[in-house]
Structure 1
Amino acid sequence: MTTTTTAPQVRARLTDGVTGDLGRLLPEGICRTFRVMPYAVADGVVLVAAAEVDDPITRQVVEERIDRQVQLVRHTGNEISEAIDEVYPPSEGQVETADERRSRVQLARMLTNSGLVTNEQLQIAMIEYSRTGDPLGDILVAHEAITEDVLVAALSEMYQMQRVGLADFTPDLEVARRLPERLALRLQAIPVAATEDLVLLAAARPLDAEQVLDVEEALGSPFRQLLANRTELDQLIQKVHSEHYAEISTVSLMESQPEASAHIVFTGGQKASAVCLGIALLLCGIVWPMGTLVGLVALASLIYLLVSCYKLQLTFRALGAHLETEVTDEQVLALDERTLPMYTILVPLYKEAGIVRRLVRGINELDWPRTRLDVKLLCEEDDTETIDMIKSLNLPPHFHLVVVPDSQPKTKPKACNYGLQLATGTFCVIFDAEDRPDPDELKKAYLAFQHVAPNVACVQAKLNHFNQNQNLLTAWFANEYSMHFELVLPAMGSAGAPIPLGGTSNHFITSVLRELGAWDPFNVTEDADLGIRLHRQGYRTAMIDSTTLEEANSNVPNWIRQRSRWIKGYLQTWLVHMRSPGRLLRETGPRGFISFNLTMGSAFVLLMNPIFWGLSTLYVLTQAGFIQQMFPGFVFYAASTLLFVGNFTFVYLNVAGSLQRGEFGITRTALLSPLYWGLMSWAAWKGAIQLFTNPFYWEKTEHGLDGGEHE
């Protein structure tokens, strides 16, 4: 620990200039926030100019950051500011004005003098302020040093503005909607009452001059501001505009791009094509029964071979290579947090009250300023248990409870669309309730967006599982994820192929996502569909080397429910994008067209597996002649080769994926992957049947089966 002295007799003065690089011993934010500047060395002691040499917080901050003996020397604020500007030339809009500093100091003194904030809490908040420049009061609230109500009361006294409580307020919708929804959301403000001459406007924070002009223009009349709790204000805005949000989240894509929506499972053209194909096969079967069967077997074998070879080619491309967008730890550390934008996190929740506490802790552990997080906890209206749990936690205002009205289709993408209407972030990401992303994932995604081509609209992190060693099923699941996210997707991204996104940890430019119509609420594998639509519109997806850990299903029935939904969604996605094959070919190019069909083709392969297994078993048991006739010479050798290639490919991919990730402990389980393939085929048939019987049904996957902590 260094020591600090405040001896008055010091020969060197700040006005003589800063010696060498001493000024950079302290970061710019610390210098400006605490008005300090190292400027000289006398007898081995670093002299630090300070406006408040007796302030214990200033002294502690300086001591902790300079690993030498220091001495605080009193100087005027103007002298120090001039020295800071010499060492750190100011950037426009990033230097605190005199009025802003007076307000910050006044708020800090008000809270500490009243005993509402300790010196330690204030120091933590001041240090974060030095990094981000965000309002000190908002930082204190985000870190739960004070409540939002305490801050509103303090601001009310500082600015001599009246407060208003909105917890039990019933809005006059005609009055409340006088301020356009986009403006209300951006300013966190809403009209609560009006007379002929004046509108009363509830606002989370005092509006600046430019914002006042925007509101006056929108209202067409004078108004008076009332300060309100941000959480209560957020709930009121949702209540006023819920019908609008619900409509947009359900029908926006269906109305703006009906050809891209899965609300119709089979189009008239697809039904007609299927009928014509069925009739043709029936006629061929009557005229050339065995020839038709041989042709079908040969076609199925060809599909098998192409899908297997494509995945092998992708794997060989990725093995031993680093195909993700490079973001180094040094670049993350060098980020200037004052430049970071607002980041929206969408978290769909359904019947998951038990893991809300852990979820909140995980989000708060992310390396991103909490004051620049916009976390939407998306709950279905009938899930009262989860809603009540969230309310009971009295979360700070960067967490927003969003209650999605109970309507069909009741799917995760509809909930995400609803939350997207309320998003205020420049970027947004989806996390599932049980997800455990790397703490620096948001910064890596943000930096990736700065480095990639302008047409990259999505950054996909890798996914894997934290309970991979629980049983054989979770090990298989982890092997599969390693193969998919460590090898296949990076190779597809580097080749410029359309990427079917993972269900979580996909980061988007919010404006582009809205432009595309966001997620299809009728597609139960909405992420894969969105990845293809991004590509078709000329956008691309980049992969980053950051991993989000999920919970692998350890229970077979639960796993079947999840996997059948995924495969049903893959079939939906193929049907949607193959409505016009010629247009798809033009928009993706030949390579993209082939890649899309071979990627989605894996679902058809899974459907064919039980048929061939059944035929093989029946032949072994009965030696049935008609089965032998279905496999004449060339078909038999091709099918036999395929049997070897297909099984080898599946096992090899799973082994290669776990080795690429370095998960050597579960590599041996990949040798039993053909058994896992059997489970996948079971799920595939269940999903295919549901495509006809209940296409939009979202089978809920239960979490918390790993026996871990779910408070």
Structure 2
Amino acid sequence: MRGIAQGLDPAVLHYARRRALRLGTGLDETLLATGHASPDTLAQAAALDLGIDFEPLDPAVFKALPRLAATDVCSMLRSGVMRTTDGRLVAAARGARLRRLAAALAERPQLRGRVSLTTPERLSRFVHARFGRQLGNLATYRLRDKQPHQSAGTLHASRYLFGLIACLLAALFLTTTATSFIGAWIPPGLVALMLIGSATLKLAACTIPPQRPPRPARDDKSLPGYSLIVPLYREARVVPQLVDALDGIDYPREKLQILLVIEPDDEATATALALHARRPGFEVIVAPPVGPRTKPKALNAALPFARGTVIGVYDAEDVPDPLQLRHVCGRLNARGNERIGCVQARLVIDNLADGWISRQFAAEYAGYFDVVLPMLGLCRLPLPLGGTSNHFRRAALDDVNGWDPFNVTEDADLGVRLARAGWGTDVIASATDEEAPQRFGAWMRQRTRWYKGWMQTLLVHIRQPLRMAREAGWAETLTLLFLLGSGTAAALLHPVLFASVLLGLFLEPIHELSFTSTLLDGVWFCVLVAGCLGTVLSTLLGMQRRRIPGMVSVALSMPVYWLMMSAAAWRALIALVIAPSHWEKTEHGLARTSRRRQGWRPTLRLRNSGAIRQRHLRASASG
């Protein structure tokens, strides 16, 4: 790096060297992360030092490349080495890779005529331009082709059958009271078992003491390379907040890569990113127009370009705890956690004062993420992941072939597939602020998508129950049924169950009541009470732990919220039949209030500002 060093302020160079030594990174990586040099400048200087050519990889000029399969393209991106048709090598090297390349050239000087140097950013752009269609097909069909039994893309007749069974079951509850016909008891009995199982899990979770925040990893040298993927679609409104929130994360910029994935026709978001995301470490990926337009497909499209060994996922409106990545690394590196494939952070609704819907949403999240999920993580049971603040080992994602582009709740599905592959999931007490819908229409569209995805996940993983139990275990399979199965069944059948019990208790003449009829009505009444009790207690406990006010009003209005969920579940059932992979977009950036972001400023971001940086440089130089 002699060429680039000659043009730098000695204080800057001294600070960068000390920082690179402390982080275990290359001087070029530190200069890039602090904004003192561009990728091209660094690569050109390194090529000059090594005595090799710099290759700009212009797609319109560079043609000497063989035909490659999509998997070979992914391997090329991971290795950073591209072989041309004439036997030359183009290396996208920086940091440790550049040092290894320099050592190889020093040992074998004759290679200098066959090797040229480029930047990782130029290699990514070239691959996207030349192999975009192939990578798009891989992102869309990889899971369906390799593991068709675990992909929602192979659900055909089963979704119609599921809709028919749900309608028949609802009719059965309304038209059948006491009967000796055993066939009429079996389906309601299975539903009752799922509801009791779900209530038992929630009541058991209420007995677990609050989880302590994990210790963040402090040794910067041992921190792994980290890639964050943020899918965006029609999110221009929240781009400034998103970029500031991501820039406020306390993690070495030399080891952090942020991939912002957009759709090809989303010009407004692309413009906003061009204005606000022009900072070191931020890269924009355009999802190829192949297959369904869903969030999981966008995540798959970005995965080949991710260079980190840990992959995190955020949504557009997220404001994560600045120490969250360090908390994740501390948990993944803990002894005995080698098979933990995912760490789920807690999601917290920030705009709970926007109205009744957002408050109910905040209470629901508090019960789920602060009470139920920590218990599942503690017991090493599979859990339906939240749609954001998931942090994966790259090896685990590769092992399960990424996300399912045909499932509209890719998070819940991926949690189950990780369990089936032998990977565990943990939950940490690190929060990410989220925005809840305020209006009924927005809430209904989002909740419909959730229920539709849960139905897809159930149909995918329970269509071969013995295989599921053999791969994940019986306890894990029952947990899936108790959480997703009972949640879906309860939403579909809550009004029907209440109506059925009331019909049996109050409308049937007393003299016609039989022992069997009274017993069944009593059993169902107990089932409903247990289910409601588990949901209410876990929600109120979560509100207490999250310090959400209005517990009494939330509890009293829960039945109305449950009726809304029932409407969303029946709407989802129709959508499952007619449009299984259609993604109903949730608009963000509409919050009027904020519990924690009022006056929020990303103070950690000041560390990267010009004035503070120069102050650190002068202090380092004088020290």
Range class of TM-score, shorter chain? 0.7 to 0.9
Q: How far 1:310 sits from its partner (Å)?
A: 3.1
The answer to which of 408-417 and 587-596 deviates more is: 587-596
Cα distance change on mapping 1:122 and 1:612 into 2, 3 Å: same
Opposite residue 461 of structure 1, the aligned amino acid is A
Cα distance change on mapping 1:490 and 1:607 into 2, 3 Å: same
Q: How far 1:511 sits from its partner (Å)?
A: 1.5
Q: How far 1:341 sits from its partner (Å)?
A: 1.5
Cα distance change on mapping 1:318 and 1:637 into 2, 3 Å: closer
Q: How far 1:156 sits from its partner (Å)?
A: 5.5
Q: Which residue of 2 aligns with 1:513?
A: 397
| Whole-Å separation in 2 of the counterparts to 1:698 and 1:347 | 17
Counterpart secondary structure, 1:395: coil
Counterpart secondary structure, 2:65: helix
Q: How far 1:413 sits from its partner (Å)?
A: 0.8
| Whole-Å separation in 1 of the counterparts to 2:163 and 2:564 | 28
Counterpart secondary structure, 1:699: coil
8 Å CA contact 1:203–1:225 kept in 2: the answer is no
Q: How far 1:225 sits from its partner (Å)?
A: 4.7
Q: Which residue of 1 aligns with 2:492?
A: 607
8 Å CA contact 1:567–1:687 kept in 2: the answer is yes
| Whole-Å separation in 2 of the counterparts to 1:706 and 1:279 | 41
Cα distance change on mapping 1:606 and 1:282 into 2, 3 Å: closer
1:127-206 to structure 2, matched below 5 A, reads: 128-152=19-43, 154-155=45-46, 162-166=53-57, 169-172=60-63, 174=65, 181-182=73-74, 184-186=76-78, 188=80, 190=82, 199=88, 201=90, 203=92, 205=94
8 Å CA contact 2:382–2:479 kept in 1: the answer is yes
Q: How far 1:440 sits from its partner (Å)?
A: 1.2
The answer to which of 688-697 and 634-643 deviates more is: 634-643
Measured against aligned partners, the alpha-carbon deviations of 1:2-29 in whole angstroms (never above 9, x if no partner) come to xxxxxxxxxxxxxxxxxxxxxxxxxxxx
Q: How far 1:132 sits from its partner (Å)?
A: 0.6
Cα distance change on mapping 1:262 and 1:292 into 2, 3 Å: farther
Q: Which residue of 1 aligns with 2:523?
A: 638
Partner of residue 307 from structure 1, selected from 195, 202, 219: 195
1:491 aligns with 2:375: yes
The answer to which of 141-150 and 131-140 deviates more is: 141-150
Q: Which residue of 2 aligns with 1:338?
A: 221
Q: How far 1:363 sits from its partner (Å)?
A: 1.6
Q: How far 1:483 sits from its partner (Å)?
A: 0.6
Q: How far 1:619 sits from its partner (Å)?
A: 9.6
Q: Which residue of 1 aligns with 2:209?
A: 321
Q: Which residue of 2 aligns with 1:401?
A: 284
1:568 aligns with 2:446: no
| Whole-Å separation in 2 of the counterparts to 1:546 and 1:579 | 35
| Whole-Å separation in 2 of the counterparts to 1:579 and 1:701 | 30
Cα distance change on mapping 1:677 and 1:397 into 2, 3 Å: same
| Whole-Å separation in 1 of the counterparts to 2:66 and 2:126 | 13
Cα distance change on mapping 1:283 and 1:417 into 2, 3 Å: closer
Q: How far 1:531 sits from its partner (Å)?
A: 0.9
Measured against aligned partners, the alpha-carbon deviations of 1:593-652 in whole angstroms (never above 9, x if no partner) come to 3222111221111001233456689999x96879x9899322333344444444333322
Counterpart secondary structure, 2:354: coil
The answer to which of 178-187 and 655-664 deviates more is: 178-187
Q: Which residue of 2 aligns with 1:679?
A: 564
Q: Which residue of 2 aligns with 1:458?
A: 342
Q: How far 1:137 sits from its partner (Å)?
A: 3.3
Q: How far 1:263 sits from its partner (Å)?
A: 0.9
1:418-437 to structure 2, matched below 5 A, reads: 418-437=301-320
Counterpart secondary structure, 1:593: helix
Structure 1 runs not aligned, ≥5 long: 1-102, 114-118
Measured against aligned partners, the alpha-carbon deviations of 1:364-399 in whole angstroms (never above 9, x if no partner) come to 221211111122211122223222332344634522
8 Å CA contact 1:490–1:543 kept in 2: the answer is yes
Q: Which residue of 1 aligns with 2:144?
A: 254
8 Å CA contact 2:20–2:30 kept in 1: the answer is yes
Opposite residue 133 of structure 1, the aligned amino acid is G
Partner of residue 447 from structure 1, selected from 330, 340, 344: 330
Q: Which residue of 2 aligns with 1:45?
A: none
| Whole-Å separation in 2 of the counterparts to 1:278 and 1:473 | 28
| Whole-Å separation in 2 of the counterparts to 1:124 and 1:229 | 24
| Whole-Å separation in 2 of the counterparts to 1:224 and 1:477 | 60
Measured against aligned partners, the alpha-carbon deviations of 1:207-247 in whole angstroms (never above 9, x if no partner) come to 658548999xxxx9975555545433321122223233212
Q: Which residue of 2 aligns with 1:525?
A: 409
Q: TM-score, normalised by structure 2?
A: 0.82
Q: Which residue of 2 aligns with 1:50?
A: none
Structure 2 runs not aligned, ≥5 long: 601-623
1:67-146 to structure 2, matched below 5 A, reads: 103=1, 107-112=4-9, 119=11, 125-126=16-17, 128-146=19-37
Counterpart secondary structure, 2:8: helix
8 Å CA contact 1:434–1:550 kept in 2: the answer is yes
Q: How far 1:303 sits from its partner (Å)?
A: 2.7
| Whole-Å separation in 2 of the counterparts to 1:347 and 1:284 | 44
The answer to which of 608-617 and 675-684 deviates more is: 608-617
Counterpart secondary structure, 2:343: strand
Measured against aligned partners, the alpha-carbon deviations of 1:638-678 in whole angstroms (never above 9, x if no partner) come to 34444444433332221111113333466642432222111
Q: Which residue of 2 aligns with 1:264?
A: 154
8 Å CA contact 2:366–2:543 kept in 1: the answer is yes
Counterpart secondary structure, 1:368: coil
Partner of residue 552 from structure 1, selected from 412, 418, 436: 436
1:370 aligns with 2:253: yes
Measured against aligned partners, the alpha-carbon deviations of 1:18-69 in whole angstroms (never above 9, x if no partner) come to xxxxxxxxxxxxxxxxxxxxxxxxxxxxxxxxxxxxxxxxxxxxxxxxxxxx
8 Å CA contact 2:192–2:524 kept in 1: the answer is no
Cα distance change on mapping 1:707 and 1:248 into 2, 3 Å: same
Q: How far 1:290 sits from its partner (Å)?
A: 7.2
Partner of residue 391 from structure 1, selected from 266, 274, 282: 274
Cα distance change on mapping 1:365 and 1:130 into 2, 3 Å: farther
Cα distance change on mapping 1:176 and 1:261 into 2, 3 Å: closer
Opposite residue 125 of structure 2, the aligned amino acid is Q
Opposite residue 371 of structure 1, the aligned amino acid is E
| Whole-Å separation in 1 of the counterparts to 2:166 and 2:435 | 43
Opposite residue 649 of structure 1, the aligned amino acid is G
Opposite residue 201 of structure 1, the aligned amino acid is V
8 Å CA contact 2:173–2:500 kept in 1: the answer is no
Counterpart secondary structure, 2:7: helix
The answer to which of 694-703 and 463-472 deviates more is: 463-472
Measured against aligned partners, the alpha-carbon deviations of 1:453-495 in whole angstroms (never above 9, x if no partner) come to 3322111111111212221111111111111111111112223
Partner of residue 475 from structure 2, selected from 575, 587, 591: 591
8 Å CA contact 2:311–2:392 kept in 1: the answer is yes
| Whole-Å separation in 2 of the counterparts to 1:232 and 1:245 | 17
Q: Which residue of 2 aligns with 1:38?
A: none
Measured against aligned partners, the alpha-carbon deviations of 1:157-209 in whole angstroms (never above 9, x if no partner) come to 65565545456745426358699535542454546x87x6x747374559658
Comparing both chains, which one has the higher relative contact order based on Cα–Cα distances under 8 Å and sequence gaps of 6 or more?
A: 2
1:414 aligns with 2:297: yes
| Whole-Å separation in 1 of the counterparts to 2:390 and 2:153 | 24
Q: Which residue of 2 aligns with 1:694?
A: 579
